[in-house]
Amino acid sequence: MCNDYEQHVAWAEYCRMMESLALRIPSHQTELDLPQADDIRINDPAPIMRAAAGSDDAIELASMTFGFPPAGPKGGPVFNFRSEGRQFANSKRCLVPASGFFEFTGTKYPKAKHRFTLNGSPFLAIAGLWREAAGNKPPTFTMLTTDPGPDIAPYHNRQVVVLQPADWAAWIKLTKPEAELLRPLPAGALLVRTVRPESA
């Protein structure tokens, strides 16, 4: 599943998208809150979108570390979190902005690398959860997953939940049932391009 994505969302593009969705950006935020990165992997810092404190319509960007801390001494970071059958009303919900995310296929290293983007949209947002900083650990986020839709199924048996822009506010505010939001998109919603073929 997704343990690598890219963030090349231009600030002007981000502002236009938020305005079209009637989602306010806090006045103190700038393009510095949306840093660019070719590959964001587990334990990397990255921006997430969350409800701004004390506002009904503002969505703020906050920098957090990708992956919840391990649940036990032997586990690794929780970067993908299964969504099916779960309730998230009492969770800290967020969106993970990305210009694309990657899946890998094959058995030889380096594996084939496939880039997924949202058809008809300048960038996409993945449904996620975030946690406050604890002790000397920074705030963290994880991505929600579901069964693969038709665009992902040939590449992986699970997928991250990509939300259509019209559902971004619904996830942040949870104004629709989880089962209606946290599901794969229909065929053709995601575009795929192989950016690195499998090694011979």
pLDDT, tens only, 143-194? 999 999 999 999 999 999 999 999 999 999 999 999 999 999 999 999 999 9
> Where do the structural domains in the chain lie, given as residue ranges?
4-98+125-186
**What are all long-range contacts of 151-155, with beta carbons under 8 Å and residues at least 24 apart?**
151/116, 151/185, 151/187, 151/188, 151/189, 151/190, 151/191, 151/192, 152/103, 152/116, 152/184, 152/190, 155/103, 155/105, 155/114, 155/192
**Could you tell me the pTM of the whole model?**
0.94
pLDDT above 90 covers what percent of the chain? 80
**52-62 confidence digits (pLDDT tens):** 987 778 999 99
User: Class of 4-98+125-186 per CATH?
Assistant: alpha beta
Find the mean pLDDT for residues 54-79.
86
d(CA 190, CA 5): 14
pLDDT above 70 covers what percent of the chain? 98
